[in-house]
Structure 1
Amino acid sequence: MEEEHNLDLEGQIRAWQATMAMVYTMSLRCAVELGIPDIVNGAARAPLSISRIAALLSPTPPRDHTSLHRLLRFLAHKGVFAERVDPSTGEPTYAPTPTSRWFSRRSELSLASMVLLQTWSFQESPWHRLSERVVRCGGGVEGMGMPPHKEEDPWADLAAVPERAAVFNSAMAAMSGIAMRAVMAVYKGGFEGIRMLVDVGGGTGAVLKEITEQCPNICGINFDLPHVVAAAPECPRVQHVGGSVFDGIPEGDAIFMKLLLHCFDDEGCLRILKNCQKAMPRKYGKLIIVDAVLGADDDGGSLEDMKKTFDMLMLAYTGGKERTEAEWRKLLRSGGFPTCNIIRIPSFFSIIEAFAE
């Protein structure tokens, strides 16, 4: 009876945690908006008192520290900050952790913009339509896997809303930086022999900037939607080109696609792959994909958890999906790339090398 009671209580706790999951993410948003991770991580790693953190908040420090204390206490409980007691005062203090640095805008690689993007109110509408998407099997615009209703697409008006576009571009650049650190740690040699590399869906060019800096043999074409490349900074040996992946892709020795194909259903991906095939030399051209491969990790669940989380994001936002190794091989074979290698990197993404012959 006691064992049954304990199992019931454990199940109830898990149910409550799932129900209240947004409390964590919205609390993170609050902390990022206030710059708390910047303050805590910028304190020479010394613990800070609540009053000291409050004094450093801008533009107006709070007079009453009660709410700030509750926020810090909660995030410390979640492992974002480390909570300690000052032996001389008996007051709680807060110190950085390996997690908190990822939420500081001052970090070289930061998820602060991603927190703001994922918790912005305009991102909610696709989730309210998720049941509709599940019932219609995830279909979006035919052959594209994109939302059929403008109001369902949180990114539809990015070009018209500069504030959204800035946060979106910053979040995507952060994801690029994180992914590319893992890619270059393992795959730098894979770019040898390439003279012209086309980054399809390259955003504002952060990926090509890093590749060309580390690989002086490479010139690049950063290819994305016109309003996206319009915001791209100039970069030596990189040309920014605007267009649609469904109309055609600039020619190059190799084509790079990071976190692009998971945005589309199989039919949309096949249209993109056919255009990739046309844009590269058949005999020595190479397609380099950075994307998740479901079921490829044996880390105890953490990496796989993130992949399945991204799979739900794609289902809600674009109608696309993450794929297993078998699904990737079938898709690439159907798209004209019968040979592929899957290379694991220290990330929840993998490198997929594909060849037309």
Structure 2
Amino acid sequence: MTSINGRSASESFKAQALVYRHMFSILDPMCLKWIIDSRIPNIIHDHGKPITLSELVSVLKIPSTKVDRIHVFMRYMAYIGYFDITKVRIHDGNEEEEKEAFALTAASELLIKGTENPCIAPLVEFVMDPLISDSFNYLSKWFSDEDRRLYEITLGKPLWEYLDKNPRLLGLFNDAMAGDSQMIKLALKDHNMVFEGLETIVDVGGGNGTTALIISEKFPALKCIVFDLPMVVESLKGFNNLSFVGGDMFDSIPKADAILLKLVLHNWSDDNCIKILKNCKDAVKVSSKSKKGKIIILETVINEEQDEPEITRLKYLMTLNMQIIHGRERTKEE
């Protein structure tokens, strides 16, 4: 028995399910934003143990008419990996009852605000801000426009220029980058040898210095310089072995034994990346002693043969996002 275009009914139903899954998956980031806005990871963290639905809605002050809906949302977020569903024993007078409870997972632990541990919740808040996320509704208009970038079409000017004029969004962006930079703590555990023997390092595009601070604390004898646009670093003050310098990486970069480029190159075209890398080479060529000079690049690398399918899918989504900004994620060869 065949369906449309000579395909079996089973094949067509699977195709329909694929379309529906992607259509309704718009709810995934919205639900993620909801648990962050409601501070649910913090609530469970502060609770100190798995939390029951009744305890959660009590903290959230949810109307009784919405309790069942909260339950559906929480069970879905557990299904996609943000919570674990477990059982706890509740004492009520002389009786003991076993109830369902929600516990944190590795994913929701990364959304807890206000602790010393890495938190990437600000990145979600920035990407899901309506001024940013609504722009994706205009992809067709962007593709048909010869010159302008997506955010120029939707915001009236390039993204970085728009952020500079919008303190609220700029604050969100800086918090997002700082939160993402905290993850470097995990990388440093296995890659200390990259920084050994260095006396000076420049973190190009280092923002508010989160990454450089982590490195400077790990290597107190290493002089760390955060290099970014003057408007970014003008109000930031250095201390101990950490300092801030304003400038433009397309003009020149302060000289040091090593130059760090963390998530910089993916913002730019190949031609602009070559300009940046040439300036990095000039910066390490003069001052480096012996073979100390190095350029350290931290970027997402697309590797379909090595990565799991879900990781590859994520990397392709990231490169779609960077294409909109005018950059790209790259393969190792690229």
TM-score by length of 1: 0.79
1:89 & 1:214 partners in 2: Cα distance? 49
1:171 is matched with: 176
What 5-or-longer segments of structure 2 have no aligned partner?
Answer: 90-95
CA shift, 1:39, in A, is: 1.0
Q: Percent same amino acid at aligned positions?
A: 27
Q: 1:347: which partner in 2?
A: none
207 and 50 in structure 1: CA distance in 2 versus 1, 3 angstrom threshold: same
The residue that corresponds to 1:200 in the other structure is 204
Aligned to 1:224: 228
Are 1:242 and 2:246 counterparts?
yes
Q: Give the equivalent residue in structure 2 for 1:273.
A: 277
Which residue of the partner structure matches residue 308 of structure 1? 316
Residues of 1 paired with 2:83 and 2:103: CA distance? 6
Q: What amino acid does structure 2 have at the position aligned with 1:171?
A: A
Shift of 1:238: 1.4
Q: What are the equivalent positions in structure 2 for 1:320-331 lying under 5 Å apart?
A: 320-327=327-334
Deviates more, 1:224-233 or 1:96-105: 224-233
**SS of residue matched to 1:251:** coil
3-state SS in 1 of match to 2:106: coil
Kept in 2, the 8 Å contact 1:253–1:280? The answer is yes
SS in 2 for 1:281: helix
Q: Which residue of 2 is the match for residue 349 of structure 1?
A: none
Q: Quote the residue 1:96 is aligned against.
A: 104
Larger radius of gyration: 2
Report the 3-state secondary structure (helix = DSSP H, G, I; strand = E; otherwise coil) of the residue aligned with 1:93: strand
Matched ranges for 1:50-199 at <5 A: 50-57=53-60, 61-64=61-64, 65-84=67-86, 92-106=100-114, 108-124=117-133, 126-134=135-143, 151=156, 153-178=158-183, 180-199=184-203
Say if 1:239 and 1:102 are closer, same or farther in 2 by CA, change over 3 A: same
Letter in structure 2 aligned against 1:76: A
Cα displacement (A) at 1:209: 0.8
3-state SS of paired residue (1:99): helix
Indicate if the aligned counterparts of 2:112 and 2:121 stay in contact, CA closer than 8 A.
Answer: yes
**Post-superposition CA distance 1:11-50 (Å, at most 9, x none):** 2222112112221111111111111111123332x33222
How many Å apart are 1:312 and its aligned residue? 0.9
Residue 49 of structure 1 corresponds to 52
Q: Deviations over 1:287-323 (max 9, x none)?
A: 111001211662322322222121011012x110011
* Structure 1, 262-271 or 71-80: larger mean CA deviation: 71-80
Query: Does the residue aligned with 1:42 lie in a helix, a strand or coil?
Result: helix
Structure 1 gaps of 5+ residues are 328-357
Q: How many residues are aligned here?
A: 316
> For 1:31 and 1:236, how far apart are their aligned partners in 2?
39
CA positional deviation for 1:236: 2.1
1:166–1:242 Cα change, 3 Å: same
**1:343 corresponds to which residue?**
none
| Distance apart, 1:85 and its partner CA | 6.0
Say if 2:151 and 2:159, in contact at 8 Å, map to a contact too.
no
Residues 42, 69 of structure 1: CA spacing in aligned structure 2 closer, same or farther, 3 A cutoff? Answer: same
Q: How does 1:262-301 map to 2 (within 5 A)?
A: 262-281=266-285, 284=291, 285-295=293-303, 298-301=306-309
- 1:82 is paired with a residue whose SS is strand
Aligned equivalents of 2:10 and 2:234: distance in 1?
58
Displacement of 1:122 in angstroms is: 1.0
Hey, what's the Cα distance between the residues in 2 that align with 1:272 and 1:197?
Answer: 16
Deviations 1:241-280 (A, max 9, x none): 1222222211212110000000001111122122222222
Distance in 1, matches of 2:187 and 2:82, equals 27
> Cα deviation per residue 1:100-158 (whole Å; 9 max; x = unaligned)?
21222145112211111111011035423433544568x668xxxx9655636444333
AA at the equivalent of 2:72: R
- 1:37–1:100: 8 Å Cα contact kept in structure 2? yes
- CA-based RMSD of the aligned residues comes to 2.8
Q: Deviations over 1:42-74 (max 9, x none)?
A: 332x332222112223xxx22323443333233
Q: Report the Cα distance in structure 2 between the residues aligned to 1:91 and 1:79, rounded to whole angstroms.
A: 20
